[in-house]
Structures are given as structure tokens and as C-alpha cells.
Structure 1
């Protein structure tokens, strides 16, 4: 089952989830990608907004329930929204084997990004959840620092030996919102991602953008023009 969580009260970018990106509502991108995967029993949108629900249905998603207001505030836990969606679907349709969250704020994921995460979960019976990440441009071993109580700065993670190039530091990744794939039972039983065995699939930078600010939207417009149809490629 694919899920897209899109509340209506975005403050950083008002009406973000239905704001047009290259002429298409933002939420249309993950819906189209999920449908193009061809592996989901349903593509479900969890929202508190009738306007978002209407747009979601236009693009072919189902909205079988509305999200409670207490799970749609800017301080509400996404994990609790996941639990609510799982329980709502199971109550109506029975159990399902894989929960796939495709946030609307990451419009440039493609079909292969999603199916690769599903395959990674299926291939490892011990895995609880699969996340996505991109190679970080900064490293806590080399050029990320913290400030001590005296105002001096230090490398966040002191390396075992002196590093003269960032490339010599251990590879680190920025978590992206491209996809989260989990066994539903894990989400219902655990309190967060890190209580389980976590796998990761790497995605390239051009597909890893997470839209959170007007500046991010500007960058997204540039990417959409440079890579038309990027979200439907395999």
C-alpha cells in the first residue's frame, strides 16, 4: 500500500501540497509515480484538507478517511499519522504486507527509487524499515563543527587520524524524504525509525530535493525544467 501524507496547514509554503510545480499540483507527482510503479493495491492520501483530498482524487488516489485535526498540526508526529493510516486501512480492508510512504515534498523520486526500496525490504527478513539518503556535501569528520562553552569550535566527530581531504573521511549521507518502506507491524509496535533494523537506498542529488521553503520551490522549478518527467522514469 502506498501512502501520501499531506496536511493542509503548511506555514513555510502556504498550500504547499497543492501549489503548482511546473504546472502540476505538488501532490500530483507522488501519486503519478506510485501509480506508475504498478505494484500497489491502492494509493492512499492522508489529509485533513478537503481541497487536497479533491486534488488527490483527480490524480487517481483514494482518500478513504480524513486525518484527525490533532494529527495535522505543525507539531504533530508523522509517526502517529502513519499509525492512524495503517489502522484505518486495516479496519476497512484487512492487513497488508508493506507500508510505503511517499511524501509530497519530494516530487522527483522515480519509479526505480520506490521499487528498489520495496525490494530491499523484501530481501532482508530482519529489516524493519528502508529509508533513502543522498551523499552529504558536509562531513562531521571533516568540515562540520560544534562550539564549546569557551567559544572554540571542534570537529563534530574527531577522526582516528588527521584528514586532509573530505574524500578521506567515512562516507555519510543526508536522509531524504524520497521513500519510507516498512512492515506495518513495526510502525504499530515501535516509537520511531531507530528502534528497528534500518536499511537505506541511495538516491542522486537531483531526485533527493525536499521542498520546505520558497527557495526550495525555486530550485524545484529549475529541476522540473531540466528533467521533465523525471518522476516517471525507471
Structure 2
């Protein structure tokens, strides 16, 4: 039986929405939603929260997760997420802990469900290095996504002479932050997710909200309340 460790990486700082990881959603802090979900999935062996923030550490302990102290060097706005992943893995390895599958459940996606995560875990097979989650894109890079220079001049992002109708273009997807599933060795030995063979799991838009700013947060609140009405 493969050993699965779930991780929630939650910094104390945030420019887009200050203190977002501790903001309440449905009466509990945002970071706690990831912990609660992980606890509902039977084959997850342990749950860790990597953070630099004392309040987040307290919340993690209250909801039954173990804390990994995230150094300040890896907690700023310019810090790389994959560097924080490596730090967590090495921290556990130094303690003598071994596990087979690394599952990241970002705190900013509180509307996912257990079936979403189970589908991601099931998708990591011998032919796959990385599992990400995606949702259907509302824009096509061939027709209505543009770049913009400092003078305001714009160009289509993906110019093509092949496609003359939007309906004929390849289906496009947005990467979401619902979950990431990898093996620890891949994280330690590669710089980018797409250095490996990446498989994706499609998540409906209503469960793929990624809270980055105030309006994302208000939208998530609305959807959360709607889900309560339907349950």
C-alpha cells in the first residue's frame, strides 16, 4: 500500500487579499477547509501544514494537522512554491519519514470535494509524473486572448492561419489550484512541473475557484452558501 502525505502550504502574507488563509468561509478559516477535506479521504496517511505564521500553526493544530515550520526565505511574495515543497519533503526526510505520494491541497481552493481529490490520486500511474487539475477556459488564446505592451498595443497570443472559427480551435483549459499529485523524488530532481509527463483532471468551474483577491473571496462565499442550500 502506497503511503500518501497531504500538504497545505499557507503563508501568512498575501498582497492580493491580506491574511486570506485565515479568513472565515462558512464559519471556519480558509486553511482549515483543506485539512478537513484531507481527513475525509481514507487513504491519506498524514496531513501537514507548512507555514511561517503563528496563527496558521494554531489553526492547523486545532484541526488535526501537523506543522512544518516554513522559513522566512520561502515565505515572501517572490518565493517559489516548488521550493517550499522541497523544503517540506527534506524536512520530513531528515526526521526519517518516508512516503510515496505527495499531495498538495492549496488553501485557496476550498470548494473542491473528495471525489475531485480521489480522481487526482487515481490518475498518478506509472506513465505519469505529475497530476494537475484544470477547468474549461472561457477564452481561446487563438481568438480572444491578447498580449499588451507598455504603449497599449496588443497582439493575439497564439496567431494561427489554420483556425478561422473559434469553434474549430483546440479545447483550452485553465490550470486550477484544486490539487497537485506527484512523487517526492520528482519534486526533488526537477525544476518545473512540465519537465515531466503531466496528466490533468477536469474540475467543474463551481468547484475550481482559486481565491486570490477580494472578489474571488466574495464569489467563493456565494458558491459556498449555494452549496449549503442544495445539500
CA shift, 1:153, in A, is 4.3
The aligned counterpart of 1:87 is 90
The aligned counterpart of 2:64 is 60
2: CA distance, partners of 1:5 / 1:142: 36
Mark the CA change 1:148 to 1:5 in structure 2 (over 3 Å): closer, same or farther. closer
2: CA distance, partners of 1:133 / 1:44: 24
1: CA distance, partners of 2:116 / 2:127: 21
- Assess if the C-alpha contact under 8 Å between 1:3 and 1:46 holds in 2: yes
Instruction: Map 1:12-161 onto structure 2 (within 5 A).
Output: 12-63=16-67, 65-121=68-124, 123=125, 125-146=126-147, 153-161=154-162
- Assess if the C-alpha contact under 8 Å between 1:141 and 1:170 holds in 2: no
1: CA distance, partners of 2:53 / 2:150: 46
TM-score, reference length from structure 2 = 0.92
1: CA distance, partners of 2:90 / 2:69: 13
- Assess if the C-alpha contact under 8 Å between 2:163 and 2:169 holds in 1: no
Q: Partner of 1:89: helix, strand, or coil?
A: helix
Count, aligned residues: 227
CA shift, 1:149, in A, is 9.9
Note the residue ranges of structure 1 that are not aligned, 5 or more in a row: none
Instruction: Map 1:198-213 onto structure 2 (within 5 A).
Output: 198-213=198-213
The aligned counterpart of 2:180 is 180
Q: Partner of 2:220: helix, strand, or coil?
A: helix
Mark the CA change 1:159 to 1:215 in structure 2 (over 3 Å): closer, same or farther. same
- Assess if the C-alpha contact under 8 Å between 1:136 and 1:173 holds in 2: yes
Q: List per-residue Cα deviations over 1:96-147 (Å, max 9, x = no partner).
A: 10000000001111111111111100x3x13111000101000111211335
